[in-house]
Amino acid sequence: MPGEEFQEQGRDIEEGIEAAKILEEAGYDAFNGDVGSYDSWYWAHPPMYQEKGLYLPYNKILKTILKVPVITAGRLDNPDLASKAIREGKTDMIALGRPLLADADIPNKIKAGKIEKIRPCLSCQEGCMGRLASFATISCAVNPACGREKDYALGKADQSKKVLVIGGGPAGCEAARVAAIRGHHVTLFDKNNRLGGNLIPGGIPDFKEDDHLLATWYEGELKDLKVDVQLNTEVNRTTVNEYAADVVIFATGSSPKTFSIGTSTKVYSAEEVLLGKKDPGASTVIVGGGLVGCETALWLADQGKKVTLVEMQEDILTVGGPLCHANEDMLRDLVAYKDIHLLTNAKIVDANDQEFVLQNKDGEETILNADSAILAVGYTPQQSLYEDIQNEVSESYLIGDAKQVQNIMYAVWDAYEVTRNI
Protein backbone atom coordinates (compact mmCIF):
# COMPACT_ATOMS: atom_id res chain seq x y z
CA MET A 1 0.00 0.00 0.00
CA PRO A 2 1.14 3.62 -0.43
CA GLY A 3 3.29 4.34 2.59
CA GLU A 4 3.68 0.71 3.61
CA GLU A 5 6.86 -0.97 4.74
CA PHE A 6 7.67 -3.14 1.75
CA GLN A 7 8.21 -6.82 2.40
CA GLU A 8 10.67 -8.80 0.33
CA GLN A 9 8.52 -10.98 -1.89
CA GLY A 10 10.00 -10.37 -5.32
CA ARG A 11 12.58 -8.32 -7.20
CA ASP A 12 13.45 -5.19 -5.21
CA ILE A 13 14.82 -1.87 -6.46
CA GLU A 14 18.44 -2.96 -6.00
CA GLU A 15 17.92 -6.00 -8.22
CA GLY A 16 16.04 -3.84 -10.71
CA ILE A 17 18.97 -1.44 -10.93
CA GLU A 18 21.43 -4.26 -11.58
CA ALA A 19 19.14 -5.70 -14.25
CA ALA A 20 18.87 -2.28 -15.90
CA LYS A 21 22.66 -1.93 -15.98
CA ILE A 22 23.03 -5.33 -17.64
CA LEU A 23 20.35 -4.54 -20.22
CA GLU A 24 21.84 -1.13 -20.99
CA GLU A 25 25.21 -2.74 -21.59
CA ALA A 26 23.49 -5.27 -23.87
CA GLY A 27 22.29 -2.41 -26.07
CA TYR A 28 18.85 -1.39 -24.86
CA ASP A 29 17.99 2.10 -26.13
CA ALA A 30 15.54 3.16 -23.41
CA PHE A 31 13.79 1.90 -20.30
CA ASN A 32 10.11 2.12 -19.45
CA GLY A 33 10.18 1.63 -15.70
CA ASP A 34 7.23 0.70 -13.56
CA VAL A 35 6.54 -1.38 -10.47
CA GLY A 36 4.29 -4.21 -9.46
CA SER A 37 3.36 -7.49 -11.08
CA TYR A 38 0.26 -9.55 -11.69
CA ASP A 39 0.46 -10.57 -8.04
CA SER A 40 0.15 -6.88 -7.11
CA TRP A 41 -1.95 -5.75 -10.04
CA TYR A 42 -2.87 -2.38 -8.63
CA TRP A 43 0.76 -1.27 -8.86
CA ALA A 44 1.18 -2.35 -12.47
CA HIS A 45 -2.25 -0.94 -13.43
CA PRO A 46 -2.83 1.84 -10.88
CA PRO A 47 -6.43 2.71 -9.94
CA MET A 48 -7.59 6.11 -8.73
CA TYR A 49 -6.51 5.18 -5.20
CA GLN A 50 -2.85 5.41 -6.25
CA GLU A 51 -1.13 8.79 -6.36
CA LYS A 52 -0.58 10.41 -9.72
CA GLY A 53 2.95 9.90 -10.99
CA LEU A 54 3.48 7.00 -8.59
CA TYR A 55 6.43 5.57 -10.59
CA LEU A 56 8.46 8.80 -10.59
CA PRO A 57 10.41 8.14 -7.35
CA TYR A 58 11.65 4.81 -8.74
CA ASN A 59 12.50 6.09 -12.21
CA LYS A 60 14.37 9.03 -10.70
CA ILE A 61 16.72 6.41 -9.25
CA LEU A 62 17.09 4.79 -12.68
CA LYS A 63 17.93 8.21 -14.14
CA THR A 64 20.94 8.49 -11.84
CA ILE A 65 22.51 5.23 -13.01
CA LEU A 66 21.54 4.99 -16.71
CA LYS A 67 22.80 6.93 -19.72
CA VAL A 68 19.87 6.01 -22.00
CA PRO A 69 16.45 7.69 -21.71
CA VAL A 70 13.99 6.66 -19.01
CA ILE A 71 10.27 6.58 -19.86
CA THR A 72 7.60 6.89 -17.17
CA ALA A 73 3.88 6.12 -17.20
CA GLY A 74 1.53 5.69 -14.24
CA ARG A 75 -1.24 8.30 -13.95
CA LEU A 76 0.76 11.10 -15.58
CA ASP A 77 -2.09 12.55 -17.62
CA ASN A 78 -1.83 15.89 -15.79
CA PRO A 79 0.33 18.02 -18.14
CA ASP A 80 1.65 20.19 -15.30
CA LEU A 81 2.79 17.18 -13.29
CA ALA A 82 4.30 15.52 -16.37
CA SER A 83 6.26 18.58 -17.50
CA LYS A 84 7.46 19.25 -13.95
CA ALA A 85 8.77 15.68 -13.71
CA ILE A 86 10.83 16.18 -16.86
CA ARG A 87 12.12 19.59 -15.75
CA GLU A 88 13.20 18.17 -12.38
CA GLY A 89 15.06 15.31 -14.03
CA LYS A 90 12.84 12.54 -12.70
CA THR A 91 12.25 11.13 -16.18
CA ASP A 92 13.09 11.83 -19.82
CA MET A 93 9.79 10.95 -21.45
CA ILE A 94 6.15 10.49 -20.48
CA ALA A 95 4.10 7.50 -21.62
CA LEU A 96 0.31 7.62 -21.72
CA GLY A 97 -1.85 4.52 -21.99
CA ARG A 98 -5.33 4.69 -20.51
CA PRO A 99 -5.61 8.50 -20.84
CA LEU A 100 -5.30 8.12 -24.62
CA LEU A 101 -8.31 5.82 -24.57
CA ALA A 102 -10.30 8.60 -22.92
CA ASP A 103 -8.94 11.20 -25.35
CA ALA A 104 -6.64 10.18 -28.19
CA ASP A 105 -5.92 13.83 -29.02
CA ILE A 106 -4.18 14.69 -25.73
CA PRO A 107 -0.75 15.56 -27.24
CA ASN A 108 -2.28 17.88 -29.83
CA LYS A 109 -4.49 19.59 -27.25
CA ILE A 110 -1.50 20.17 -24.97
CA LYS A 111 0.51 21.53 -27.90
CA ALA A 112 -2.35 23.88 -28.80
CA GLY A 113 -2.69 25.07 -25.20
CA LYS A 114 -6.19 23.62 -24.89
CA ILE A 115 -5.66 21.57 -21.76
CA GLU A 116 -9.22 22.23 -20.59
CA LYS A 117 -10.45 20.39 -23.70
CA ILE A 118 -8.85 17.10 -22.60
CA ARG A 119 -11.43 14.53 -21.57
CA PRO A 120 -10.08 13.12 -18.28
CA CYS A 121 -9.31 9.49 -17.56
CA LEU A 122 -10.93 8.51 -14.25
CA SER A 123 -8.57 5.57 -13.57
CA CYS A 124 -11.74 3.55 -12.97
CA GLN A 125 -10.49 0.89 -15.43
CA GLU A 126 -14.08 -0.19 -16.13
CA GLY A 127 -13.87 0.21 -19.89
CA CYS A 128 -10.24 -0.81 -20.37
CA MET A 129 -8.59 -3.30 -18.00
CA GLY A 130 -11.91 -4.44 -16.57
CA ARG A 131 -13.25 -5.32 -20.01
CA LEU A 132 -10.02 -7.04 -21.02
CA ALA A 133 -10.19 -9.18 -17.88
CA SER A 134 -13.65 -10.35 -18.94
CA PHE A 135 -12.48 -11.04 -22.53
CA ALA A 136 -14.35 -8.06 -23.99
CA THR A 137 -12.84 -5.55 -26.41
CA ILE A 138 -10.97 -2.67 -24.87
CA SER A 139 -12.78 0.66 -24.65
CA CYS A 140 -13.24 3.51 -22.15
CA ALA A 141 -15.87 4.42 -19.58
CA VAL A 142 -15.98 8.08 -20.61
CA ASN A 143 -15.38 7.53 -24.34
CA PRO A 144 -17.93 5.04 -25.71
CA ALA A 145 -16.51 5.30 -29.24
CA CYS A 146 -13.08 4.07 -28.14
CA GLY A 147 -12.16 0.90 -30.01
CA ARG A 148 -15.05 1.28 -32.45
CA GLU A 149 -14.43 4.77 -33.77
CA LYS A 150 -15.59 4.02 -37.30
CA ASP A 151 -18.89 2.42 -36.31
CA TYR A 152 -19.60 4.94 -33.56
CA ALA A 153 -18.59 8.11 -35.39
CA LEU A 154 -21.08 10.95 -34.87
CA GLY A 155 -22.50 12.29 -38.11
CA LYS A 156 -25.18 14.91 -38.60
CA ALA A 157 -28.79 13.80 -38.14
CA ASP A 158 -31.07 13.79 -41.20
CA GLN A 159 -33.38 16.22 -39.43
CA SER A 160 -32.46 18.80 -36.80
CA LYS A 161 -34.76 18.47 -33.79
CA LYS A 162 -35.53 20.45 -30.68
CA VAL A 163 -34.16 18.31 -27.85
CA LEU A 164 -34.84 18.81 -24.15
CA VAL A 165 -32.54 17.05 -21.68
CA ILE A 166 -33.70 16.91 -18.06
CA GLY A 167 -30.81 16.32 -15.69
CA GLY A 168 -27.15 17.35 -15.71
CA GLY A 169 -25.39 14.26 -14.42
CA PRO A 170 -23.04 12.16 -16.59
CA ALA A 171 -25.90 10.72 -18.66
CA GLY A 172 -27.61 14.07 -19.21
CA CYS A 173 -24.38 15.85 -20.10
CA GLU A 174 -23.33 13.13 -22.53
CA ALA A 175 -26.78 13.10 -24.13
CA ALA A 176 -26.68 16.88 -24.59
CA ARG A 177 -23.15 16.74 -26.02
CA VAL A 178 -23.91 14.02 -28.55
CA ALA A 179 -27.23 15.57 -29.58
CA ALA A 180 -25.55 18.93 -30.19
CA ILE A 181 -22.76 17.35 -32.25
CA ARG A 182 -25.43 15.70 -34.39
CA GLY A 183 -26.93 19.08 -35.17
CA HIS A 184 -29.91 19.19 -32.83
CA HIS A 185 -30.96 22.28 -30.88
CA VAL A 186 -30.42 21.28 -27.27
CA THR A 187 -31.56 22.69 -23.95
CA LEU A 188 -30.51 21.08 -20.67
CA PHE A 189 -32.29 21.72 -17.38
CA ASP A 190 -30.79 20.80 -14.01
CA LYS A 191 -32.06 21.54 -10.51
CA ASN A 192 -28.58 22.02 -9.06
CA ASN A 193 -26.23 25.00 -9.29
CA ARG A 194 -23.67 23.15 -11.41
CA LEU A 195 -23.45 20.23 -13.78
CA GLY A 196 -22.23 16.83 -12.65
CA GLY A 197 -25.01 15.16 -10.67
CA ASN A 198 -23.55 12.40 -8.49
CA LEU A 199 -20.08 13.23 -9.82
CA ILE A 200 -20.04 16.15 -7.38
CA PRO A 201 -20.36 14.28 -4.06
CA GLY A 202 -18.52 11.30 -5.56
CA GLY A 203 -15.55 13.49 -6.48
CA ILE A 204 -15.05 15.01 -3.01
CA PRO A 205 -12.37 12.50 -1.83
CA ASP A 206 -8.98 13.53 -3.19
CA PHE A 207 -8.56 10.15 -4.88
CA LYS A 208 -11.73 10.84 -6.89
CA GLU A 209 -10.81 14.35 -8.05
CA ASP A 210 -11.03 13.32 -11.70
CA ASP A 211 -14.80 12.97 -11.29
CA HIS A 212 -14.90 16.75 -10.83
CA LEU A 213 -12.61 17.20 -13.82
CA LEU A 214 -15.10 15.24 -15.92
CA ALA A 215 -17.94 17.51 -14.76
CA THR A 216 -15.83 20.57 -15.62
CA TRP A 217 -15.01 19.09 -19.03
CA TYR A 218 -18.70 18.64 -19.77
CA GLU A 219 -19.36 22.26 -18.77
CA GLY A 220 -16.80 23.42 -21.31
CA GLU A 221 -17.98 21.09 -24.05
CA LEU A 222 -21.63 22.08 -23.72
CA LYS A 223 -20.69 25.75 -23.73
CA ASP A 224 -18.63 25.34 -26.91
CA LEU A 225 -21.46 23.39 -28.54
CA LYS A 226 -23.93 26.19 -27.73
CA VAL A 227 -26.12 23.98 -25.56
CA ASP A 228 -28.58 26.11 -23.59
CA VAL A 229 -27.87 25.05 -19.99
CA GLN A 230 -30.44 26.15 -17.42
CA LEU A 231 -29.25 25.51 -13.85
CA ASN A 232 -31.18 25.87 -10.59
CA THR A 233 -34.30 24.88 -12.51
CA GLU A 234 -36.88 22.35 -11.34
CA VAL A 235 -38.70 20.74 -14.25
CA ASN A 236 -42.35 19.68 -14.11
CA ARG A 237 -45.14 18.85 -16.52
CA THR A 238 -45.73 22.54 -17.30
CA THR A 239 -42.06 23.15 -18.08
CA VAL A 240 -41.97 20.27 -20.55
CA ASN A 241 -45.23 21.25 -22.25
CA GLU A 242 -44.18 24.89 -22.60
CA TYR A 243 -40.85 23.93 -24.13
CA ALA A 244 -42.63 21.90 -26.84
CA ALA A 245 -39.63 19.71 -27.65
CA ASP A 246 -39.50 17.16 -30.44
CA VAL A 247 -37.49 14.88 -28.14
CA VAL A 248 -37.37 14.76 -24.34
CA ILE A 249 -34.52 12.87 -22.67
CA PHE A 250 -35.10 12.09 -19.01
CA ALA A 251 -31.72 11.87 -17.27
CA THR A 252 -33.10 12.62 -13.83
CA GLY A 253 -30.59 10.42 -12.05
CA SER A 254 -30.96 8.75 -8.69
CA SER A 255 -31.10 9.72 -5.03
CA PRO A 256 -29.60 7.99 -1.97
CA LYS A 257 -31.79 5.51 -0.11
CA THR A 258 -32.39 6.65 3.46
CA PHE A 259 -34.18 5.40 6.55
CA SER A 260 -34.31 6.14 10.27
CA ILE A 261 -32.55 4.05 12.90
CA GLY A 262 -34.24 3.97 16.29
CA THR A 263 -34.46 7.42 17.86
CA SER A 264 -31.10 8.65 16.57
CA THR A 265 -31.09 12.11 15.01
CA LYS A 266 -27.57 11.60 13.71
CA VAL A 267 -28.23 9.30 10.76
CA TYR A 268 -26.99 10.87 7.54
CA SER A 269 -26.57 9.86 3.92
CA ALA A 270 -23.06 9.51 2.52
CA GLU A 271 -23.92 12.31 0.09
CA GLU A 272 -24.74 14.71 2.95
CA VAL A 273 -21.44 13.97 4.66
CA LEU A 274 -19.38 14.18 1.47
CA LEU A 275 -20.91 17.53 0.57
CA GLY A 276 -20.23 18.89 4.05
CA LYS A 277 -23.90 19.28 4.90
CA LYS A 278 -23.57 17.01 7.94
CA ASP A 279 -20.70 16.51 10.38
CA PRO A 280 -20.14 12.82 11.21
CA GLY A 281 -18.12 13.63 14.33
CA ALA A 282 -14.94 11.93 15.46
CA SER A 283 -16.38 8.44 15.14
CA THR A 284 -18.97 7.03 12.79
CA VAL A 285 -20.52 3.77 11.67
CA ILE A 286 -21.08 3.39 7.94
CA VAL A 287 -24.01 1.20 6.95
CA GLY A 288 -23.28 -0.53 3.64
CA GLY A 289 -20.05 -2.01 2.32
CA GLY A 290 -20.50 -1.28 -1.36
CA LEU A 291 -18.33 1.09 -3.38
CA VAL A 292 -19.79 4.28 -1.87
CA GLY A 293 -19.54 2.93 1.67
CA CYS A 294 -15.95 1.75 1.28
CA GLU A 295 -14.76 4.93 -0.41
CA THR A 296 -16.50 7.12 2.17
CA ALA A 297 -14.89 5.03 4.93
CA LEU A 298 -11.47 5.48 3.34
CA TRP A 299 -11.99 9.24 2.97
CA LEU A 300 -13.02 9.64 6.62
CA ALA A 301 -10.22 7.39 7.87
CA ASP A 302 -7.72 9.61 6.04
CA GLN A 303 -9.10 12.51 8.10
CA GLY A 304 -8.33 10.66 11.32
CA LYS A 305 -11.91 9.58 12.01
CA LYS A 306 -12.66 6.33 13.78
CA VAL A 307 -14.69 4.37 11.24
CA THR A 308 -16.71 1.17 11.56
CA LEU A 309 -18.05 -0.35 8.35
CA VAL A 310 -21.12 -2.58 8.72
CA GLU A 311 -22.25 -4.88 5.90
CA MET A 312 -25.18 -7.33 5.93
CA GLN A 313 -23.57 -9.61 3.35
CA GLU A 314 -20.69 -11.99 4.02
CA ASP A 315 -18.25 -9.66 2.31
CA ILE A 316 -17.86 -6.08 1.13
CA LEU A 317 -18.13 -4.94 -2.51
CA THR A 318 -20.57 -7.72 -3.42
CA VAL A 319 -23.53 -5.52 -4.36
CA GLY A 320 -23.66 -3.21 -7.37
CA GLY A 321 -21.77 -3.13 -10.63
CA PRO A 322 -18.56 -5.14 -11.04
CA LEU A 323 -15.25 -3.40 -10.37
CA CYS A 324 -12.01 -3.94 -12.21
CA HIS A 325 -10.00 -6.45 -10.18
CA ALA A 326 -7.14 -3.99 -9.61
CA ASN A 327 -9.49 -1.38 -8.19
CA GLU A 328 -11.38 -3.86 -6.03
CA ASP A 329 -8.23 -5.51 -4.70
CA MET A 330 -6.68 -2.18 -3.74
CA LEU A 331 -9.84 -0.87 -2.11
CA ARG A 332 -10.15 -4.05 -0.05
CA ASP A 333 -6.52 -3.78 1.03
CA LEU A 334 -6.94 -0.10 1.89
CA VAL A 335 -9.94 -0.81 4.11
CA ALA A 336 -7.73 -3.17 6.12
CA TYR A 337 -4.61 -1.00 5.92
CA LYS A 338 -6.39 2.12 7.21
CA ASP A 339 -7.65 0.22 10.29
CA ILE A 340 -11.28 0.58 9.33
CA HIS A 341 -13.24 -1.72 11.66
CA LEU A 342 -15.13 -4.09 9.37
CA LEU A 343 -18.20 -6.02 10.52
CA THR A 344 -19.84 -8.35 8.00
CA ASN A 345 -22.99 -10.45 8.42
CA ALA A 346 -24.22 -7.64 10.65
CA LYS A 347 -26.85 -4.91 10.73
CA ILE A 348 -27.95 -2.04 12.96
CA VAL A 349 -31.30 -2.76 14.61
CA ASP A 350 -31.66 0.16 17.01
CA ALA A 351 -29.96 3.40 18.01
CA ASN A 352 -30.04 6.61 19.99
CA ASP A 353 -27.74 9.62 19.67
CA GLN A 354 -24.87 7.92 21.51
CA GLU A 355 -25.21 4.19 20.87
CA PHE A 356 -25.95 1.88 17.98
CA VAL A 357 -27.20 -1.67 18.50
CA LEU A 358 -25.64 -4.18 16.10
CA GLN A 359 -26.96 -7.66 15.45
CA ASN A 360 -24.99 -10.47 13.81
CA LYS A 361 -26.39 -13.31 11.71
CA ASP A 362 -26.94 -15.41 14.84
CA GLY A 363 -29.10 -12.72 16.42
CA GLU A 364 -26.48 -11.72 18.98
CA GLU A 365 -26.46 -8.01 19.81
CA THR A 366 -23.62 -5.66 20.74
CA ILE A 367 -23.49 -1.95 21.53
CA LEU A 368 -21.32 0.36 19.44
CA ASN A 369 -20.59 3.90 20.60
CA ALA A 370 -20.34 6.37 17.71
CA ASP A 371 -21.15 10.00 16.98
CA SER A 372 -23.18 9.21 13.87
CA ALA A 373 -24.29 6.67 11.30
CA ILE A 374 -23.78 7.16 7.58
CA LEU A 375 -26.06 5.36 5.14
CA ALA A 376 -24.49 3.99 1.97
CA VAL A 377 -27.16 1.48 1.01
CA GLY A 378 -27.70 2.27 -2.63
CA TYR A 379 -29.70 4.65 -4.79
CA THR A 380 -33.25 4.90 -6.08
CA PRO A 381 -33.90 5.86 -9.73
CA GLN A 382 -35.83 9.12 -10.10
CA GLN A 383 -38.54 8.18 -12.59
CA SER A 384 -41.65 10.03 -11.38
CA LEU A 385 -41.54 12.82 -13.97
CA TYR A 386 -40.92 10.34 -16.79
CA GLU A 387 -43.78 8.09 -15.67
CA ASP A 388 -46.06 11.10 -15.37
CA ILE A 389 -45.60 12.58 -18.85
CA GLN A 390 -43.81 10.06 -21.07
CA ASN A 391 -46.95 9.45 -23.14
CA GLU A 392 -47.55 13.15 -23.66
CA VAL A 393 -44.41 13.75 -25.73
CA SER A 394 -43.89 12.36 -29.20
CA GLU A 395 -40.40 10.98 -28.55
CA SER A 396 -39.00 10.36 -25.08
CA TYR A 397 -36.13 8.39 -23.55
CA LEU A 398 -35.18 7.39 -20.00
CA ILE A 399 -31.42 7.04 -19.57
CA GLY A 400 -28.63 6.56 -17.06
CA ASP A 401 -29.30 6.13 -13.35
CA ALA A 402 -32.91 7.17 -13.90
CA LYS A 403 -33.38 3.96 -15.87
CA GLN A 404 -31.06 1.68 -13.92
CA VAL A 405 -28.61 2.61 -11.18
CA GLN A 406 -25.13 1.45 -12.14
CA ASN A 407 -21.88 3.35 -12.65
CA ILE A 408 -20.44 6.25 -14.65
CA MET A 409 -19.59 4.01 -17.58
CA TYR A 410 -23.14 2.73 -17.88
CA ALA A 411 -24.57 6.26 -17.69
CA VAL A 412 -22.25 7.65 -20.36
CA TRP A 413 -22.53 4.67 -22.69
CA ASP A 414 -26.32 4.54 -22.36
CA ALA A 415 -26.61 8.23 -23.20
CA TYR A 416 -24.28 7.91 -26.19
CA GLU A 417 -26.10 4.88 -27.57
CA VAL A 418 -29.53 6.48 -27.30
CA THR A 419 -28.61 9.94 -28.54
CA ARG A 420 -26.48 8.91 -31.51
CA ASN A 421 -29.63 7.36 -32.97
CA ILE A 422 -31.87 10.43 -32.59
CB 49 within 8 A of CB 42: yes
Residue 388 sits in a domain whose CATH number is 3.40.50.720
State the chain's mean pLDDT as an integer: 95
Q: Is the alpha carbon torsion for 286, 199, 265, 371 positive or negative?
A: positive
pLDDT at 34 over 70: yes
Across the range 314-334, mean pLDDT stands at: 91
First to last CA, the chain: 47
110 occurs within a structural domain: no
More confident residue, 224 or 37: 224
- Residue range 44-85, pLDDT digits in tens: 999 999 999 999 999 999 999 999 999 999 999 999 999 999
Across the range 122-128, mean pLDDT stands at: 97
pTM of the model: 0.95
CB 132 within 8 A of CB 400: no
User: Does 406 lie in the same domain as 356?
Assistant: no
pLDDT at 142: 99
Residue 344 sits in a domain whose CATH number is 3.50.50.60
pLDDT at 266: 98
59 occurs within a structural domain: yes
pLDDT at 2: 54
pLDDT at 320: 74
pLDDT at 173 over 90: yes
pLDDT at 9: 63
291 occurs within a structural domain: yes
CB 147 within 8 A of CB 137: yes
**How many structural domains does the chain have?**
3
User: Does 373 lie in the same domain as 327?
Assistant: yes
pLDDT band at 12 (very low <50, low <70, confident <90, very high): confident
pLDDT at 40: 82
CA distance 73 to 93: 9
User: Does 247 lie in the same domain as 396?
Assistant: yes
- Residue range 238-287, pLDDT digits in tens: 999 999 999 999 999 999 999 999 999 999 999 999 999 999 999 999 99
User: Does 19 lie in the same domain as 71?
Assistant: yes
pLDDT at 297 over 80: yes
pLDDT at 198: 98
111 occurs within a structural domain: no
pLDDT at 164 over 70: yes
pLDDT at 345: 98
pLDDT at 3: 55
Alpha-carbon dihedral of residues 228, 234, 237, 239, nearest 10 degrees? -40
User: Does 373 lie in the same domain as 273?
Assistant: yes
pLDDT at 4: 57
Buried b (16+ CB within 10 A) or exposed e, 319-336: beeebbbbbbbbbbebbe
The whole domain housing 285 covers: 267-377
User: Does 389 lie in the same domain as 329?
Assistant: no
